[in-house]
Amino acid sequence: MRSHIRKAAAPLVGEIRVPGDKSISHRAVLFAAMADGTSQLNGVLDSADVRSTMAAVEALGAVVEVLAETDHGLDLAVHGWGSDGPIEPVGAIDCGNSGTTVRLLLGVLAGYDVHAVLTGDESLSKRPMSRVATPLASMGARVETSDGGVLPVGVNGGGLVGGDHKLPIASAQVKSALLLAGVRAEGVTRVCEPAPSRDHTERMLPAFGIPVGRVGLCASVSGPLIPASADVGVPADPSSAAFLVGAALIVPGSDVTLPGISLNPTRIGFLRVLARMGARIDITTGPEMCGEPTGDLRVRYTENLTGTTVAADEVPSLIDEVPLLAIVATTVQGSTLFEGVGELRVKESDRLTAIADGINALQGGALATEDTLTITGGRPLTGASLDSLGDHRLAMAFAVAGLVASGETVIDGFEAVDVSYPGFAGDVAQLLLGAS
């Protein structure tokens, strides 16, 4: 699908509740599938990626019942396989475009005496899986990737023994896979990271009856255990909110409120960076949901943002928001440097190259090296033809750029937004109408 975006003729004004958090939604469905009993899940993100996780657990014997489809997401009843364990799937399990689905599912399957093959689309099939497969094999699972450490990957689980894992790169997906394997392993499984990464797994597992030890940058579980069913509410996704935050900051006159956002400290690094740049963002604290702090964001157009340096140790808390931050950085005074962002090269696309190429096509200033990205601010953007490369974050970042670029910006492959934020274009249109 091709999207045509012209420079905003009005500010973005109003209140929008963005969809449920994608990372939390994946985990809620997976943990409920592992549990004894029936779990009630509210506000689960209805997107292509989460639907992949729902289909995967159903292929393994869990029953996922859609109770309601609301503006805030899906309300589900998940009947888990519990102490019976998963059934052996008929044929390969297709994880679509979802790296979270395949990596966390590898950790789940490693703990059970079943055989499964996991596949994905063309993009997912290029992403590295050895970083999960190798430590799972050290626990006793039999995991076989295709040549180059990619999908398809086969796993034969069961008979796991816990142990210590020191990850070379902070990764919530790898950490979570190992902790989920540890739930079914004999003894203690401890995972230590060089820097903080998303901790949704550590926050949510106790709700399902699985204690998690946390000391510094290490998390641990003791097994084997069977999760118990739980009722879980999913807060709004800060990564989806980031695109509306960025648009409101750079479209003159904008004033946007985003309620019920997850304010997990491991997810809001982009807000800390924007505050450092001078952004007008007010946060009102709300109730906790399943161990996650939440709150409302009010974002207003900020005329004199300034450049900054994003250090490597900040990147795990904002890795998905780098494309959006890069677009915002094109409008500021001075340059903005992103350090330690090489991980962007192994996302749904080579995001590091793609965002730099996109900004340069828009007549901005961007330079990517193997591990850094530099944006030169103050160069007015001009509409151009861009390709999302099937990457939802790029599609939305380019759309935000189109709201301030002169002329028309054309984005091919805009349907990629369905992976995480299917209603993105409609929500932007609603906010633009809010000023009229």
Among residues 221, 245, 260, the one where a domain terminates is: 221
For residues 419 and 277, membership in a common domain is answered with yes
For residues 26 and 93, membership in a common domain is answered with yes
Q: Tens of pLDDT along 3-22?
A: 999 999 999 999 999 999 99
Q: For residue 388, what pLDDT is reported?
A: 96
Residue 114 burial by Cβ neighbours in a 10 Å radius (0-12, 13-18, 19+) = middle
For residues 9 and 91, membership in a common domain is answered with no
Q: For residue 290, what pLDDT is reported?
A: 82
Higher pLDDT, 61 or 349: 61
The span from the CA of 244 to the CA of 62, in Å, is: 36
Q: For residue 343, what pLDDT is reported?
A: 86
Provide mean pLDDT across the span 354-362: 97
Q: Tens of pLDDT along 109-150?
A: 999 999 999 999 998 999 999 999 999 999 999 999 999 999
Provide mean pLDDT across the span 152-165: 97
Q: For residue 71, what pLDDT is reported?
A: 77
For residues 271 and 208, membership in a common domain is answered with no
Provide mean pLDDT across the span 272-287: 97
For residues 37 and 147, membership in a common domain is answered with yes
For residue 435, name the pLDDT band (cuts at 50, 70, 90): low
Residue 227 domain-assigned (yes or no):
no
Q: Tens of pLDDT along 40-60?
A: 999 999 999 999 999 999 999
Residue 282 CB coordination number (10 Å): 11
Q: 249: domain CATH number? A: 3.65.10.10
Write a three-state SS string for the chain.
Answer: CEEEEECCCCCCEEECCCCECHHHHHHHHHHHHHCECEEEEEEECCCHHHHHHHHHHHHCCCEEEEEEEECCEEEEEEECCHHHCCCCCCCCEECCCCHHHHHHHHHHHHCCCCEEEEECCCCHHHCCCHHHHHHHHHCCCEEEEECCCEEEEEEECCCCECCEEECCCCCHHHHHHHHHHHHHCEEEEEEECCCCCCCHHHHHHHHHCCCCEEECCEEEEEECCCCECCEEECCECHHHHHHHHHHHHHCCCCEEEEEEEECCCCCCHHHHHHHHCCCEEEEEECCCECCECEEEEEEECCCCCECCEECHHHHHHCHHHHHHHHHHHCCCECEEEEECCHHHHHCCCCHHHHHHHHHHHCCCEEEECCCEEEEECCCCCECCEEECCCCHHHHHHHHHHHCCCECEEEEECHHHHHHCCCCHHHHHHHHHHCCC
Q: Tens of pLDDT along 366-419?
A: 999 999 999 999 999 999 999 999 999 999 999 999 999 999 999 999 999 998
Q: For residue 344, what pLDDT is reported?
A: 86
Q: Tens of pLDDT along 301-355?
A: 999 999 999 999 999 899 999 999 999 999 999 999 999 999 888 776 789 999 9
Q: Tens of pLDDT along 184-215?
A: 999 999 999 998 999 999 999 999 999 999 99
Q: Tens of pLDDT along 222-266?
A: 999 999 999 999 999 999 999 999 999 999 999 999 999 999 999
**Region label for 325, one of left (φ > 0), alpha (ψ between -120 and 50) or beta (otherwise):** alpha
**Which residues are annotated as catalytic?**
320
Residue 224, preceding peptide bond in cis (omega within 30° of 0):
yes
- Beta strands 38-44; 231-233: pairing state: parallel
Q: For residue 436, what pLDDT is reported?
A: 58
Nearest to 30 by CA among 197, 199, 230: 230
Rounded to whole angstroms, what are the CA distances from 374 to 31, 366, 370?
Answer: 40, 6, 12
For residues 277 and 184, membership in a common domain is answered with no
Task: Give the residue numbers spanning the domain of 35.
Answer: 22-221
Residue 140 CB coordination number (10 Å): 18
For residues 143 and 174, membership in a common domain is answered with yes
Sheet holding 187-192, edge to edge: 164-166, 187-192, 218-223, 213-215
For residue 72, name the pLDDT band (cuts at 50, 70, 90): confident
Residue 93 domain-assigned (yes or no):
yes
**pTM exceeding 0.75:** yes
Which distant-in-sequence residues (6+ apart) come within 8 Å of 369 by Cβ? none
The span from the CA of 111 to the CA of 107, in Å, is: 7
Q: For residue 346, what pLDDT is reported?
A: 72
How many domains is the chain built from?
Answer: 2
Among residues 163, 198, 221, the one where a domain terminates is: 221
The span from the CA of 34 to the CA of 214, in Å, is: 22
